[in-house]
Amino acid sequence: MSELSKLEHRDSFDIPETELYPYYDPTPRQKGSYRLEDFIIQRTLGTGSFGRVHLVRSKHNLRFYAIKVLNKARIVKLKQVEHTNNEHGILELVQHPFIVNIWGAFQDCANLYMVMDFVPGGELFTLLRRSNRFPDPVAKFYAAEVALALNYLHTHGIIYRDLKPENILLNHDGHIKITDFGFAKSCRHTYTLCGTPDYIAPEILLQGRYGKGVDWYALGVLIFEMLYGLPPYHQPDNNTILLYERISRGPLHIQWPAGFGERAKDLIIHLMDVEPTKRYGNLHRGAQDIFAHSWFAEVDWDKMTKREFTAPYMPQITGEGDASAFECYPEDNASLTYGQAALDPFGYAFPGFEYRAPSAY
């Protein structure tokens, strides 16, 4: 979802992983067969170069969902077909309490539609900017939930590749939901240059082979940003050349703020190590080095996985369809163009999306 708001925010080894605290749900979600007329479109939650995200309500079960609408011609033009199909396929595969659910996907002549959870608390980015920075226990809570989600993805062979506060949503109970899997990939290693500049790991900049270590690097950046308010190498003038130079030099050159906790500092340094083979999460014990770090000493990981801790911030939600945590966007009558009959030269490119031609309505 937050992928569609990047203009408003920030543009975006052979050792087996130890399966720590794996999440298993014996009652997997039931994915349905949907079409556009099953929903009442309420408002826009986000916009971007490919389309927009709408808050919708089902005419059948009256539940609220978020529908991500992507224009097929724009996806093809910008060469994002693989990323789009990856996002859909991975969301179909995963199920975890800290990852947004997908309930179904379909297409018509012009657009793709992904029916997902509506997560009403808005972005962690918004809460962080409003707070300026988080106290240590608050940052630790969100970092722990993110670490559990990343470990789950890695044990299923998935690299996320776009961790940042904009892609972490807050549910009605204050717990997180990671969203926007447009850069995620099912593989052990890849070479693609992608991500958000402040969060890109050094090995991605070298355009060589990299793996899940880039996600653990991004976790280090996230912890720093939550505790300080800005990423460690942030350039206020958007000078990416200088930014990438500082990333390449590594965390030993970070200018640490006064009063920054030593335990948090130690974990960040180990997560952001320039050498992937020396980085926490990539060593022999895998994610255990992260979960067992002294900064997380008071965290009961089993209870954290089961969401038995009370979240530090409870979104002010007045009802199930309350979207007040999201920015207001001009509607521009965009939804009136959905489902119209037209030539469709690109339907073949998205085989995972059930085809719903206008004549089917």
* All structural domains of the chain with their residue ranges: 26-120+319-360, 124-305
Please give the C-alpha separations between residue 26 and each of 8, 96, 162, in angstroms, as whole numbers. Answer: 39, 12, 29
Segment 159-187 mean pLDDT: 96
Say if CB 9 and CB 124 are below 8 A apart.
no
> Does the pLDDT at position 265 exceed 80?
yes
Band (pLDDT 50/70/90 cuts) for residue 3 is very low
Residues annotated as catalytic are 162
Band (pLDDT 50/70/90 cuts) for residue 12 is low
Secondary structure (DSSP) of 110-136: SEEEEEEE--TT-BHHHHHHHHSS--H
Please write the tens of the pLDDT for every residue from 66-94: 999 999 999 999 999 999 999 999 999 99
What pLDDT does residue 13 have? 23
Mean pLDDT value across the chain:
90
Burial of 29 (0-12, 13-18, 19+ CB in 10 A): exposed
Looking at the chain, the whole-number percentage of residues with pLDDT higher than 90 is 80
Distance between CA atoms of residues 302 and 322, nearest Å: 31
Confidence (pTM): 0.90
What pLDDT does residue 197 have? 95
The more confident residue out of 333 and 216 is: 216
> Does the pLDDT at position 2 exceed 50?
no
Annotated binding site for ATP: which residue ranges? 77
What pLDDT does residue 192 have? 85
Residue type, 54: H
Fold exhibited by the domain 26-120+319-360: Phosphorylase Kinase; domain 1 (3.30.200)
Residue type, 202: P
> Does the pLDDT at position 201 exceed 70?
yes
Please write the tens of the pLDDT for every residue from 16-59: 333 444 444 545 556 678 999 999 999 999 988 888 999 999 99
Chain length of the chain: 361
Residue 347 backbone dihedrals phi, psi, to 5 degrees: -55, -35
Residue linked to tokens 């920075």: 133
What pLDDT does residue 10 have? 63
Secondary structure (DSSP) of 241-280: HHHHHHHHH-GGG--PPTT--HHHHHHHHHHT-SSGGGST
Burial of 5 (0-12, 13-18, 19+ CB in 10 A): buried
Distance between CA atoms of residues 4 and 72, nearest Å: 15
| Domain 124-305, CATH among 1.20.1250.20, 1.20.1630.10, 3.60.20.10, 1.10.510.10 | 1.10.510.10
CA end-to-end distance (rounded Å), the chain: 26
Distance between CA atoms of residues 356 and 34, nearest Å: 9
Segment 113-131 mean pLDDT: 97
Within 13 Å and on the Cβ side, how many CA atoms surround 225? 24
- Within the chain, residue ranges assigned H as helices are 72-77, 81-93, 124-131, 136-155, 202-205, 213-228, 240-249, 262-271, 288-291, 301-305
Query: Could you give the 3-state DSSP secondary structure of residue 359?
Result: helix
What pLDDT does residue 4 have? 34
Please write the tens of the pLDDT for every residue from 28-37: 556 678 999 9
What helix, strand, coil percent values describe the chain, rounded to 5? 35, 15, 50
Annotated binding site: which residue ranges? 77
